[in-house]
Amino acid sequence: MAPLHRTSPICATSDRSTGSQATLHVGDDDDDAPRRLPYHHTVKMSMFRAKKLDLGCFTNVRILRDHSKRKAFEAAEPERQALRYIIRNTLLPARTRAIAQLQLTQMHCYTRPTQIRNRCILGGKGRGILRDFKMSRYNFRMQALAGNLPGVKKASW
């Protein structure tokens, strides 16, 4: 595929004969050479793990993984929003939108909002969570009966 001329803001090239990786050329008018942004980033799981845990709750592997997913999502959210805007903007050329779609699909799965799950802060359980208290139903009941939740009392009518 022949690259577009220098005045175009974005063009994609790949060299199949040498097996080189496809790159995205972003041309700036103020510098001489275009920047290269790789389509496929080499992603290691260690980059998503928090260097220092700021969790003040029960921890197990699932809690740590969910914490890592939340941190990765927070870090990548502006980039995801920008790519989604480019994809949905019908005024842009189809090629630019296709490149943005490719970059969005090749982002790590931890950067997706669907990966985040509410978990109990006491037991790490992933189902039956009350959002207001961040607790499972069972732990909420035990804490409420013990009087540890202010303003919560057992209903009677």
- Whether 91 maps to a domain, the answer reads no
Report pLDDT for 44. Answer: 60
- Whether 13 maps to a domain, the answer reads yes
Q: Is the dihedral of CA 121, 124, 126, 128 positive or negative?
A: negative
- Whether 29 maps to a domain, the answer reads yes
Report pLDDT for 121. Answer: 82
- Whether 34 maps to a domain, the answer reads yes
Q: Is 0.75 topped by the overall pTM? A: no
Please tell me the total count of domains within the chain. Answer: 1
- Which of 80, 100, 102 lies closest to 90, judged by CA? 100
Q: Is the dihedral of CA 129, 64, 109, 78 positive or negative?
A: positive
- Whether 7 maps to a domain, the answer reads yes
Report pLDDT for 7. Answer: 43
Report pLDDT for 137. Answer: 93
- Whether 32 maps to a domain, the answer reads yes
Which segments in the chain show pLDDT lower than 70? Answer: 1-58
- Whether 157 maps to a domain, the answer reads no
Q: How far apart are CA 55 and CA 120, in angstroms?
A: 12
Report pLDDT for 24. Answer: 46
Tell me which residue range forms the domain holding 11. 1-39
- Whether 102 maps to a domain, the answer reads no
Report pLDDT for 111. Answer: 86
